[in-house]
Structure 1
Amino acid sequence: MKEHRVPHAAGSIHDLVRKATHSPDLMTQAETARLSEHVLKCGEHATEEEQAIARKGTVEPENMSAAEIQLLGKRAAAKK
């Protein structure tokens, strides 16, 4: 019998970006931290403000506002 894995809410960075830009209020703390790490590691030519928000997201993802999450999503999407 085939095993069925539970799908992740956002399994890839592409899914995270879409979720962050369209429904940031539904992002989990783990997803917010992962998106923040992506913006910090990949650079994406982030401004100092965006880097500060991403650092905050890695340390305190529960204190991120929807607008901050949306900003990180837009920054991560800019590479595409």
Structure 2
Amino acid sequence: MSNDPIPHESSSLHHLAEKAHRQPKLLTKSEVEELAHFVLKGAEGATEEQKEIAKRALRNPEGIESADITALATQILTRK
């Protein structure tokens, strides 16, 4: 099972969410998009507000506010 991509992907996403939570404005455009894609497509239990933030992030990843990036990261960090 060491070749299974899911644990690495999950670990990578978790590290990205931790970085986003600590320093949201240091994320690159692609990192913001990755968080947003996960919240929209893979995050069970994401609130409507979090989904709206994710949609805004995909439309304009460079214009997203720090608090919004933190909200996306929190959704990922608190999932089970």
The answer, yes or no, to whether TM exceeds 0.5 is: yes
Could you list the runs of 5+ residues in structure 1 that have no partner in the other structure? 1-10
Runs of 4 or more, structure 1, over 3 Å off, are none
1:18-46 per-residue CA deviation (whole Å, 9 max, x = no partner) reads 11111101111110000000111113311
Q: TM-score, normalised by structure 2?
A: 0.80
C-alpha RMSD of the superposition: 1.4
Higher helix share: 2
State the identity as a percent.
37
| 8 Å contact kept, 1:35–1:72 | yes
Count of residue pairs the alignment pairs up: 70
Query: Alpha-carbon deviation of 1:70?
Result: 0.3
Q: Which amino acid aligns with 1:75?
A: Q
Larger radius of gyration: 1
Could you list the runs of 5+ residues in structure 2 that have no partner in the other structure? 1-10
| 8 Å contact kept, 1:39–1:76 | yes
